[in-house]
C-alpha cells in the first residue's frame, strides 16, 4: 500500500513539474503538447502542425476530441518502412524462440523469465524500428544506450548465475516474479534507449553512472565476505552521490530544472539494474551461508528449500526485484528532484522580475 502511495505521489510530482510547457493552456493543449513531444523525429513537423491546429478549434468538446486523436497518433504513428519493421519483428520473434529453447535446455528454472523477456524485447525492437527512420547515434547517446544495456545484461547474467549454481533459489511457482522482472528490465532498457534532445547534458549522466559502476563492481569483487554476504554495502550512498552529481551538474550548466531532473532520473535508470547485479554478484561470493536473523531461523525449516544458500538467495532475488528495481529507484528519483531543485534555485530566483 505504502509503495503505491509513494508511486502515485512521485508520478503526480513528475507530471506537475516536468510537463513541457506550463503555459500551454487548457488540458487538451497540454495533452497535445505532451503527445507531440513524443512523436518520432521524422514526425515532429506533423506534431507542430497538430499543436498549431488546436489553436483554431473552438469549444471544449471539440478540443478534447482533437487532443484524444493526437494522442492516438503519438501512440501509433504511421509506419514508414513496413518491410523493415516486419523484418525486425521476424528476427526478434526468432531470437525469442531461440532464447526460450536455450533456457529450457540449460537453466529450466528461468524458462518463464526467458519466455517473457524474449517476446518483450522483440516487441520493443519492433516498436523502435517503427518509430525511427534512421536512429541518431551521437557519441553521448550511444554511451548511454551502452551503459543501460550493460546494466540490464549484468542483472540478467546475475540471475542466470544464481539459477545455474542454486536452481532451487529461482523456483517461482506463481511465475509472478519472473514476469515482473522481465517487464521491469525491458522498461529500464526502454528508458536508456529513449531519444534525447540535449546530448551534451548526457555526459554528466555517463560520468555519474560509470563512476557508480566502477565503485560498485570494485566493491562487489574485492570486499571481504561474511556469513551474510559482503558489507556494509556502499552501493546506495554511491548511487545517491551519482544521481546528485548528474542532477546538480546539469542543473548548474543549463539552469533548467526539468533537464536536471531528467538527468538524475536517467542516472537512476542506468544504475538500478547494475546495482542489482553487483548485489547478487557480491552475495554469490559467499561460500558458507549462515542464518543469523531470528525470523529466517524460524522460517527456514518450513520453507521447503533444500539448503540455506537457496533460501537466502531466493529471498535476495525477490528483494532485489521489489526493492532494487522499484523502491530504491523511487527514493533515488526523489533525491534527483531535490538535487535538481536546489541546483537551479538561484537561477529561478534571479529570473523573477
- Binding-site ranges for other proteins (CB under 8 A): 43, 46, 48-50, 52-53, 55-57, 65-66, 68-73, 76-78, 80
Cell of 97: 524462440
Question: Three-class SS of residue 244?
Answer: helix
Residue 81 CB, shortest distance to other proteins, in Å, is 10
With CA atoms as reference, report the closest residue to 214 among 239, 183, 186: 239
Contacts by 164-168 with C-beta closer than 8 Å and gap 24+?
164/106, 164/107, 165/284, 166/307, 166/309, 166/310, 166/313, 167/107, 167/109, 167/310, 168/305, 168/306, 168/307, 168/310, 168/314
User: Which lies closer to other proteins via its Cβ, residue 83 or residue 288?
Assistant: 83
Residue 51 CB, shortest distance to other proteins, in Å, is 8
Q: Would you tell me how many other CB atoms lie within 10 Å of the CB of residue 253? A: 17
User: Which lies closer to other proteins via its Cβ, residue 84 or residue 175?
Assistant: 84
User: Which lies closer to other proteins via its Cβ, residue 78 or residue 218?
Assistant: 78
User: Which lies closer to other proteins via its Cβ, residue 43 or residue 275?
Assistant: 43
With CA atoms as reference, report the closest residue to 150 among 209, 200, 75, 201: 209
Residue 68 CB, shortest distance to other proteins, in Å, is 7
Residue 61 CB, shortest distance to other proteins, in Å, is 12
User: Which lies closer to other proteins via its Cβ, residue 66 or residue 177?
Assistant: 66
With CA atoms as reference, report the closest residue to 238 among 252, 222, 219, 221: 219
Residue 195 CB, shortest distance to other proteins, in Å, is 19
Residue 83 CB, shortest distance to other proteins, in Å, is 12
d(C-alpha 61, C-alpha 65), whole Å:
6
Residue 333 CB, shortest distance to other proteins, in Å, is 32
With CA atoms as reference, report the closest residue to 306 among 321, 289, 324: 289
User: Which lies closer to other proteins via its Cβ, residue 50 or residue 245?
Assistant: 50
The residue with cell 539552469 is 255
User: Which lies closer to other proteins via its Cβ, residue 43 or residue 131?
Assistant: 43
d(C-alpha 265, C-alpha 340), whole Å:
10
Amino acid at each position: 500500500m505504502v509503495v503505491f502511495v509513494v508511486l502515485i505521489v512521485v508520478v503526480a510530482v513528475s507530471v506537475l513539474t516536468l510537463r513541457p510547457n506550463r503555459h500551454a493552456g487548457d488540458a487538451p493543449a497540454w495533452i497535445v503538447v505532451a503527445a507531440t513531444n513524443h512523436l518520432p523525429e521524422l514526425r515532429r513537423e506533423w506534431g507542430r502542425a497538430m499543436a498549431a491546429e488546436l489553436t483554431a478549434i473552438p469549444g471544449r468538446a471539440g478540443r478534447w476530441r482533437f487532443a484524444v486523436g493526437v494522442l492516438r497518433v503519438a501512440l501509433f504513428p504511421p509506419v514508414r518502412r513496413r518491410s523493415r519493421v516486419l523484418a525486425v519483428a521476424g528476427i526478434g520473434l526468432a531470437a525469442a524462440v531461440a532464447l526460450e529453447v536455450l533456457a529450457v535446455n540449460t537453466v529450466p528454472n528461468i524458462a518463464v523469465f526467458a519466455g517473457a523477456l524474449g517476446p518483450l524485447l522483440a516487441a520493443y525492437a519492433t516498436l523502435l524500428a517503427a518509430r525511427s527512420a534512421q536512429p541518431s547515434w551521437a557519441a553521448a547517446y550511444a554511451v548511454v544506450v551502452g551503459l543501460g544495456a550493460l546494466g540490464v545484461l549484468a542483472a540478467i547474467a546475475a540471475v542466470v548465475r544464481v539459477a545455474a549454481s542454486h536452481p532451487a533459489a529461482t523456483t517461482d511457482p506463481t511465475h509472478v516474479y519472473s514476469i515482473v522482472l522481465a517487464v521491469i528490465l525491458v522498461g529500464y532498457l526502454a528508458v536508456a534507449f529513449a531519444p534525447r534532445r540535449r546530448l551534451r547534458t548526457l555526459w554528466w549522466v555517463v560520468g555519474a553512472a560509470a563512476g557508480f559502476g566502477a565503485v560498485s563492481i570494485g566493491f562487489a569483487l574485492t570486499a571481504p565476505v561474511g556469513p551474510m554476504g559482503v558489507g556494509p554495502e556502499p552501493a546506495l550512498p554511491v548511487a545517491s552521490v551519482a544521481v546528485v552529481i548528474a542532477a546538480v551538474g546539469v542543473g548548474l550548466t543549463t539552469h533548467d530544472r526539468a533537464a536536471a531532473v531528467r538527468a538524475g532520473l536517467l542516472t537512476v535508470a542506468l544504475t538500478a539494474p547494475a546495482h542489482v547485479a553487483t548485489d547478487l554478484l557480491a552475495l554469490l561470493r559467499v561460500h558458507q551461508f549462515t542464518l543469523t536473523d531470528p525470523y529466517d531461523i524460524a522460517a527456514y525449516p518450513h520453507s521447503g528449500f533444500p539448503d540455506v544458500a537457496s533460501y537466502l538467495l531466493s529471498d535476495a532475488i525477490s528483494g532485489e526485484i521489489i526493492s532494487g528495481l522499484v523502491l530504491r529507484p523511487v527514493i533515488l528519483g526523489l533525491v534527483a528532484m531535490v538535487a535538481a531543485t536546489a541546483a537551479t534555485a538561484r537561477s529561478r530566483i534571479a529570473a523573477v522580475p
